[in-house]
Amino acid sequence: MHALTLPSLLVEQAARLGDRPWVQAPGGALRFGDAPAHAASWAARLAAAGVKRGDRVGLMAGNRHEFLSIVLGCGWLGAVVVPINTASRGMQLQHMLGNSGCVLLVADAASCPAVAALASLSHAGQPTQPVQSVQDAQPAQPAPAGRQPVHDTPLALRAIWLLDPADPDCQLPVPASAPPPAPHADTPALPAATIQPGDMLAILYTSGTSGPSKGVCCPHAQFYWWGKIAARNLEISDADVLYTSLPLFHTNALNACFQALVTGASIICDERFSASRYFDRLQATGATVTYLLGAMVPMLLARESRPSERGHRTRIALAPGVPERFHAVFAERTGMALLEGYGSTETNFALGGVLADQRAGTMGRVAPEFDAIVADEHDAPVPDGEPGELLLRARPPFAIATGYFGMPDKTVDAWRNLWFHTGDRVVRDADGYFRFLDRMKDAIRRRGENISSYEVEQVLLSHPAVATAAVYAVRSELAEDEVMAALVYKTGHAPTPEGLLDFCQPRMPYFAVPRYVRVLDDLPRTENGKVRKFRLREEGITGDTWDRDAAGYRVAR
């Protein structure tokens, strides 16, 4: 084992911290001293079910104790965990499972309907029956004649572990059963696999712009460095209590667990964010450090002030992307400072700094573990004060992602000339502080979720009345973006916006369903016929735009 891998971190901190609490999530808690044995137990269950080193294990569940158990088990075994957003539906879910080649999916009951619906997309449904090994089960079958899959990648999925009893009418595409029991107490613990820092621990999906979501290959060392750098910026010590209500299937919450692991702090993971209960939970947990996303801060400030906003002992929140105008008022009202920074699934926490060095309106300076430049379209650095694309690279080996799984062309393009191209337009001042300007790529971020315009467009284009679709970001009144769709209907068709969104809801994540719909006779195009999305973004919300919020239309989660 190596010091930068998950198994070695678990063993090292168990010896150092013993009975001190590490992580608490709905359904259970884990002490540092018990973590290696817990990881070995779940690794043994995975191995007994036929999962081998390098195999991918899908994980589609909300925040709960078993989520972290599967992550630890995969890390101990040398398998690769693939966390999947529980809101994923239809072609997006099909693509994630197919692209990653998951042989096993671990899911909660709430995710079963979305998984069952894959049978109608890509393969014939099979009756659910118990299965003990992924080697014994048969992979999902191709679609019957006349029914073409949305994505061509066949599923390698052979079995599903259900963390909760599922609806008996929910016909899953492959055999399903509860996870096997823990090994008998007399059974020797499974030794940790020999893991190197560059070995992959997770594939985390992030939105594509001109194609489907990309699976980011995250090595063991990347999680170590994320935990170390973020903890340094937040000035976390082993006396701190971290609190997150963000989903563990995203990097923010998952890496908060590594911040606790690296420093010896403890962390509480709540089931979900609640604006009405947020400060009560901070007080109840004794949290000293917490985590917020851009839209959460204005949501909290929009509520009537309550004594609990000052009844906690939380000193700081990592809150990237919060508009500058909210920082001072939030700190004055809650006594909690907001720390800015810049990171992504691919790049780690590359820009930032401690609170004392924070400069209003900026993302901070480059971390000592990274190099950063602002570049022109030829990847040449531009002078300070001039805008350009943010390019990053890490100094320690494997401190950033190693590529996109199964997408070598996307990997080469993003990592060209030995720099990772973020697609974000920034400017650096003479003191080395970076300020975000806008996105250069066709990406949408709504309330902390990255949305693929391509995947939303594909659903819209599958509607029988839609001839052409362009999906793009418009600014939200809270923070970040809202989703807008400009459509051209086929001759003789005129569906209502409500009917169009009714079609979308079962086929995409709830957060990706467009808020704004605009119907046009044609879309602005280049001489080569490519849609000029920048023109649509410039026009923004026009007088002929339909707004689902204003119309009272509600999207179900």
Q: Specify the pLDDT at position 127.
A: 34
Q: Is the pLDDT of residue 1 over 70?
A: no
pTM: 0.82
* Arithmetic mean of pLDDT, 337-359: 94
Question: What is the per-residue pLDDT across 426-443, written as a single tens digit (0 to 9) for each?
Answer: 899 999 999 987 777 767
Model confidence at 366, pLDDT cuts 50, 70, 90, reads: very high
Both tokens of residue 201? 């621990």
Cα–Cα distance measured from residue 155 to residue 32, given in angstroms and rounded to the nearest whole number: 37
- State the alpha helices, DSSP H only, in 236-295: 251-263, 278-285
Say if residue 511 is exposed, middle or buried (CB neighbours under 10 Å; 0-12, 13-18, 19+). Answer: middle
Model confidence at 205, pLDDT cuts 50, 70, 90, reads: very high
Both tokens of residue 546? 């339909």
| Region of poorest pLDDT, from 169-183, 227-241, 272-286, 350-364 | 169-183
55: left (phi over 0), alpha (psi -120 to 50) or beta: beta
Q: Specify the pLDDT at position 439.
A: 73
| Region of poorest pLDDT, from 46-55, 169-178, 203-212, 252-261 | 203-212
Question: What is the per-residue pLDDT across 134-190, written as a single tens digit (0 to 9) for each?
Answer: 554 444 443 333 333 345 567 899 999 999 988 888 888 888 999 999 888 888 889
**552, 483, 538, 474: which is closest to 515 by C-alpha?**
483
Mean pLDDT value across the chain: 88
| Region of poorest pLDDT, from 196-200, 257-261, 358-362 | 358-362
Q: Specify the pLDDT at position 428.
A: 96
C-alpha distances out from residue 268 to 61, 64, 66, 282, 417, Å: 17, 11, 14, 10, 41
Q: Report yes or no: 164 and 108 within 8 Å, Cβ to Cβ.
A: yes
Q: Is the pLDDT of residue 527 over 70?
A: no
Q: Is the pLDDT of residue 381 over 90?
A: yes
| Region of poorest pLDDT, from 43-47, 254-258, 312-316, 475-479 | 475-479
Q: Report yes or no: 174 and 126 within 8 Å, Cβ to Cβ.
A: yes
Say if residue 143 is exposed, middle or buried (CB neighbours under 10 Å; 0-12, 13-18, 19+). Answer: middle
**474, 548, 555: which is closest to 507 by C-alpha?**
555
Question: What is the per-residue pLDDT across 410-430, written as a single tens digit (0 to 9) for each?
Answer: 999 999 999 999 988 889 999
* Arithmetic mean of pLDDT, 247-267: 97
Q: Is the pLDDT of residue 125 over 80?
A: no
DSSP string, 79-118: -EEEE--TT--HHHHHHHHHHHT-SEEEE-GGGHHHHHTH
The CATH number given to 369-441 is 2.30.38.10
**Domain 6-206 is found in CATH 3.40.1010.10:** no
* Arithmetic mean of pLDDT, 25-34: 97
Residues of the chain with CATH 3.40.50.12780: 6-206
Q: Is the pLDDT of residue 253 over 50?
A: yes
State which fold the 443-551 domain adopts: GMP Synthetase; Chain A, domain 3 (3.30.300)
| Structure-model confidence comparison of residues 374 and 446, the more confident one | 374
Strand partners for 374 = 390
Q: Specify the pLDDT at position 121.
A: 64
Q: Is the pLDDT of residue 451 over 90?
A: no
Q: Specify the pLDDT at position 140.
A: 45
Count the residues in the chain: 557
Q: Is the pLDDT of residue 131 over 80?
A: no
Residues of the chain with CATH 2.30.38.10: 369-441
Q: Which residue has the tokens 């043994």?
A: 44
Q: Is the pLDDT of residue 124 over 60?
A: no
| Structure-model confidence comparison of residues 142 and 57, the more confident one | 57
Residues of the chain with CATH 3.30.300.30: 443-551
Q: Is the pLDDT of residue 450 over 80?
A: no
* Arithmetic mean of pLDDT, 350-356: 95
| Region of poorest pLDDT, from 75-84, 118-127, 199-208, 483-492 | 118-127
Q: Is the pLDDT of residue 503 over 60?
A: yes
Q: Is the pLDDT of residue 523 over 90?
A: no
| Structure-model confidence comparison of residues 380 and 543, the more confident one | 380
